[in-house]
Amino acid sequence: MSAISVDNVWKEYGDQIVLENVSIEVESRSFIALVGPSGCGKSTFLRMLLGQERPTRGTILLDGQPLPSEPGRDRGVVFQKYSVFPHLTALGNVLVGKELTGSRITGKLFGAARKAAVEEARAMIVDVGLSGAEQKYPAQLSGGMQQRLALAQALLMRPKVLLLDEPFGALDPGIRTEIHQLMKRLWHETPMTVVMVTHDMREAFTLATRVIAFERRRDRPEEKLRYGATITSDIPIWPPRRAGVVATS
Ligand SMILES: Nc1ncnc2c1ncn2[C@@H]1O[C@H](COP(=O)(O)OP(=O)(O)OP(=O)(O)O)[C@@H](O)[C@H]1O
């Protein structure tokens, strides 16, 4: 299960209302694309799902339970940049989450636990199409490869929810199409719900099960800070996409 329930959420920074009255029920295993004008609060919403920010008002539940107030292993995240650590190899990057949660004191795993984690990380690296790059550092990888690595890093922790903040925004169109295919496959094969912020409508409609638009209903410049953005459209994709059911056409 990985259903998200957002009820009447507001987010304010000082006098500025960024989001107002956002309510949405996200079914387990959906793939939600969040679109909207620059600065309307999409990343802020994602950070609240991650647990990095707390709503000023309202509640967010994951499988009926309040979200823990800190990021945890049930929620993975990939940003447009800087999701991977430059000083670790590809293998080190994929392993790092397990090492940190496996041994809170030393940050390292030993013996059988390490062997199992390394095997799993290697398999994940192959799965995202990076075999042979295990010992390379991020600077030695292309942008598309780094984003594959960031996906592998997030997915090794088996998150219930994968949060993507314009993860493919900086990639060339050809590479982007390739990574869309990978993302689709990973979503079909992995029991997780995905919430992705994107500026690219084509990307939204290529990948998502549902496209959600955030916008300020009352966008008068003199009152800009007094009204936040909220959900103004909620578009289900037709024909419906279902995780695990790969379309034949
Ligand atoms: N930590 C913060 N403190 C104060 N204001 C913030 C903070 N984080 C975000 N904001 C403000 O909240 C608003 C929404 O920002 P956010 O980054 O969520 O928008 P966005 O829709 O993701 O934008 P973009 O599409 O350009 O990435 C902006 O006006 C921003 O300045």
pLDDT band at 69 (very low <50, low <70, confident <90, very high): confident
Please tell me the predicted confidence (pLDDT) of residue 223.
65
Residue 39 has pLDDT above 70, yes or no: yes
Ligand 1 neighbourhood includes 34 CB (under 6 angstroms): no
| Segment 100-106 mean pLDDT | 63
* Position 116 pLDDT exceeds 90: no
Using an 8 Å Cβ cutoff, are 34 and 43 in contact? no
Half-sphere exposure of 133 (CA within 13 A, CB side): 24
Question: Distance of alpha carbon 29 from its chain centroid, rounded?
Answer: 13
Render pLDDT for 132-142 as a digit per residue (tens, 0 to 9): 999 999 999 99
Atom 8 of ligand 1: nearest residue by CA position = 44
Residue 11 CA to ligand 1 centre (angstroms): 11
Highest mean pLDDT among 76-90, 188-202, 218-232: 188-202
**Cα–Cα distances in Å, from 143 out to 87, 88, 101, 206?**
16, 16, 27, 21
Token digits of residue 109: 């795993």
* DSSP characters over 27-90: -TT-EEEEE-STTSSHHHHHHHHHTSS--SEEEEEETTEEPPSS--TTEEEEESS--S-TTS-H
- What's the confidence (pLDDT) of residue 221? 65
**With a 6 A CB cut-off, is 244 part of the ligand 1 pocket?**
no
Q: Which of 99, 154, 91 is nearest to 123 (CA)?
A: 91
Tell the residue nearest (CA) to atom 16 of ligand 1: 41
Assess whether pLDDT exceeds 90 at residue 216: no
Residues whose CB falls within 8 Å of the CB of residue 87, separated by 6 or more in sequence, listed in order:
137
Atom 5, ligand 1: residue with shortest CA distance: 13
C-alpha–C-alpha distance, residues 89 and 128, integer Å: 16
Mean pLDDT for 173-194 is 92
Q: Say if residue 248's pLDDT is above 60.
A: no
Query: Is this prediction's ipTM beyond 0.90?
Result: yes
162 within 8 A of 76, measured Cβ to Cβ? yes
In the numeric block, the tokens 């397990």 are attached to: 98
Q: How many angstroms separate the alpha carbon of residue 77 from the centre of ligand 1? A: 17
Beta bridge partners of 207: none
Q: What average pLDDT does range 206-219 have in this prediction?
A: 90
Other CB atoms within 10 Å distance of the CB of residue 67:
22
CA gyration radius for the chain? 19
Mean pLDDT of 3-30: 94
Q: Enumerate domains of the chain plus CATH numbers.
A: 1-74+159-249 (3.40.50.300), 86-158 (no CATH)
Number of Cβ atoms within 10 Å of the Cβ of 9? 22
Atom 25 of ligand 1, residue of closest alpha carbon = 38
* pLDDT for residue 193 is more than 90: yes
Mean pLDDT over each residue of the chain, to the nearest integer: 89
Using the predicted structure, report yes or no on whether residue 52 has a pLDDT greater than 80.
Answer: yes
Please choose from 13, 17, 45, 165 the residue to mutate so as to test ligand 1's pocket, defined by most ligand atoms within 8 A of CB.
13
